[in-house]
Homo-oligomer: A and B are copies of this chain.
Amino acid sequence: MDQLPNMRLTTQRQIILEELGKVTSHPTANEVYDMVRKRLPRIGLGTIYRNLELMAESGIILKLEVGGTQKRFDATVENHYHIRCTDCGRVDDIDIEVQEEINEIATKSSDYKILGHHIEFSGICENCSRKKKVVH
């Protein structure tokens, strides 16, 4: 909701944000850890989790609660949808337009106070379909 409350600008935070901004993939906390560790070898995994969580709450990054066992993070906060490969777990952005009124439609069909929605497509990514053809 509010932007960076009393959040100190530490080296760790700068680098986490920089590294996340460099990639178009949607890394897990552990992948961010590996990326950041190349520049800050002594950083702890707890720091990664704490800061990704904080940044997601402040709205400067996006926390993706997609299928699979791990949460993923995205430096792009503009509203967009995702597609996940059911074979390898990879997640990509997908750029499509959906009827704008979808939240209003949902409001009429539910007792909930609707805040938003997310669409997750599932499929097989190019890499994995290629592999499958070779094997079979």
Residues of chain A touching chain B, judged by Cβ–Cβ distance below 8 Å, are: 65-68, 83, 85-86, 92, 94-99, 102-103, 105-106, 109-126, 129
Question: Can you report 22 A-B residue pairs in the complex whose CB atoms are below 8 A from each other?
Answer: A65-B66, A65-B67, A85-B112, A92-B110, A92-B112, A94-B109, A96-B102, A96-B106, A98-B98, A106-B121, A110-B121, A111-B125, A112-B121, A112-B123, A112-B126, A113-B123, A113-B124, A114-B123, A116-B123, A117-B120, A118-B119, A120-B120
Main secondary structure of the interface of A (DSSP, over half): mixed
Smallest CB separation, A57 vs chain B (Å): 12
In the docked arrangement, what's the CA distance between A68 and B85, Å? 20
